[in-house]
Amino acid sequence: MSRRLRKSWLGLAAAFTLLLPAAALPQSMTLCRAKPQLLDLGTPLNIARKAIATRKQLRIIALGSSSTSGYGVSNPAFAYPAQLKMGLEKALPGIEVDVVNRGIGGQDVEEMASRMRAEMEGNPASLVVWQTGTNAAIRHMPLPKFERWLRNGLTLGKSLGSDFVLMNLQYVPAVVAVADKEAYEKIMAVVAREFDAGLFRRYDIMRDWYGDGMPYAQFVQLDGLHLNDFGQKCIGKLLTRAILNSLTGP
């Protein structure tokens, strides 16, 4: 990371701690929320639907880095994969729901793509939620390389018989400081459409939180990068709603 970027990142991280405490905010600014259009994954998740209908089972692999592993949460149950499991179990009575957390802190798109086969063959699933992009952006991975590895991973993953949902970048100070952050987001949107994968627009959801007046301190840890308990729980709840929208929609 360049000295200039690090200085910008640290400045942003320091700034958000000085904002109005969450307890002093109007309730409307602390609620877990997202615009309905941001919870449209853009795919019906047909493989997952079939597993529910024929086997009464929904097995999901959460593939990602530290935000998938739940780095820094005060309770593992707050990590978004655990929240996803709880939400789906409640919404789908009679269905066996299993969410396997395969988040490894610090990994990037190429490392996750490289372990795709091992993770999926050992733990067959009808749906893979692939969280990526944040580490690539803050490390300035060349965009063509990012796109190539994303395509490689989806090509392999889809060939192994799973639906995919891509979870894009986080809107946090460490990412906001990156000049070309939205280029990674755009690549993920294009590739998701081409591979008929869902896209969970985490970046836009969190940007709306901040734009509506919610301070970073409400959803980001003091490092300016990782989600805190509220951020993790809320993303898990919204991801649950997005997946259910696709599973129960036309």
- Three-state secondary structure readout of 61-80: EEEECHHHHCCCCCCHHHCH
So what's the pLDDT on residue 142? 98
Between 229-248 and 202-211, two packed helices, what is the crossing angle to 10 degrees? 130
What residue spans define the domains of the chain?
3-14+57-248
CB atoms within 10 A of CB 147: 19
Cβ atoms of 18 and 215 closer than 8 Å: no
Three-state DSSP class for 102?
strand
CATH of 3-14+57-248, one of 3.30.720.200, 3.40.50.1110, 1.10.1040.10, 3.10.20.30: 3.40.50.1110
The structure's pTM equals 0.88
CB atoms within 10 A of CB 90: 10
Cα–Cα distances in angstroms (integers) from residue 144 to residues 190, 197, 223, in the given order = 13, 20, 29
Q: Residue 135's closest CA among 109, 115, 114?
A: 109
pLDDT in tens, 220-241: 999 999 999 999 999 999 999 9
| Confidence category of residue 15, pLDDT binned at 50, 70, 90 | very low
Cβ atoms of 61 and 125 closer than 8 Å: yes
